[in-house]
Amino acid sequence: MSSDSPPAAPAPDLPASHPRIQPGLGELFVAFAKMSLAGFGGVLVWARRGIVEQHRWMTADEFNETFALCHFLPGPNIVNLSFVFGSRFRGLAGGIAAFAGLVGPPMLIAIVLAALYKHYGEIEALRRTLAGVSCAAVGLLLSVMLKMTMPLVKRRDLAGLAMLVAVFVAIGLLRLPLAEVLLVAVPASLAVTLLIRQRVRA
Partner 1 sequence: MNEDLNPIWTLLWTFGLMSLFAVGGANAAIPEMHRIAVEVRHWMTDKEFADVFAISQLSPGPNVLIVTLIGYSVAGIAGALAATLAMCGPTALLAYNVSRLLTRARHSRWPAIIQAALVPLSIGLMAASGLILARTSDQSWIAVLTTVITAIVAFATRLNPFWLLLAGGVLGFAGVI
Residues between 121 and 140 that touch partner 1 (CB under 8 A): 121, 125, 128-140
Rg (CA), the chain: 20
Rounded Cα distance, 98 and 33, in Å: 8
Shortest distance, position 148 Cβ to partner 1, whole Å: 5
d(CA 75, CA 79): 8
CB of 122 to partner 1, least distance (A): 12
14 touches partner 1 (CB under 8 A): no
Cβ-based nearer residue to partner 1, 21 or 137 = 137
Q: For the chain, what's the residue count?
A: 202
**Rounded least distance, CB 193 to partner 1, Å:** 4
- Burial bucket for residue 3 (CB in 10 Å: 0-12, 13-18, 19+): middle
Q: Which of 18, 21, 75, 123 binds partner 1 (CB under 8 A)?
A: 75
Nearer CB in complex with partner 1: 30/161: 161
Please give the Cα distance from 1 to 132 (Å, whole number): 21
CA 113 → CA 101, 109, 117, 135, distances in Å?
Answer: 19, 6, 6, 18
Which region, judged by CB under 8 A, interacts with partner 1, from 16-24, 48-56, 75-83?
75-83
Q: Residue 9: CB partners within 8 Å, gap ≥ 6? A: 60
Give the interface segment with partner 1, choosing from 16-24, 52-60, 181-189 (CB under 8 A). Answer: 181-189
Q: Which stretch binds partner 1 (CB under 8 A): 9-17, 22-30, 49-57, 108-116?
A: 108-116
Which of the residues 45 through 74 are near partner 1 (CB under 8 A)? 65-66, 68-74
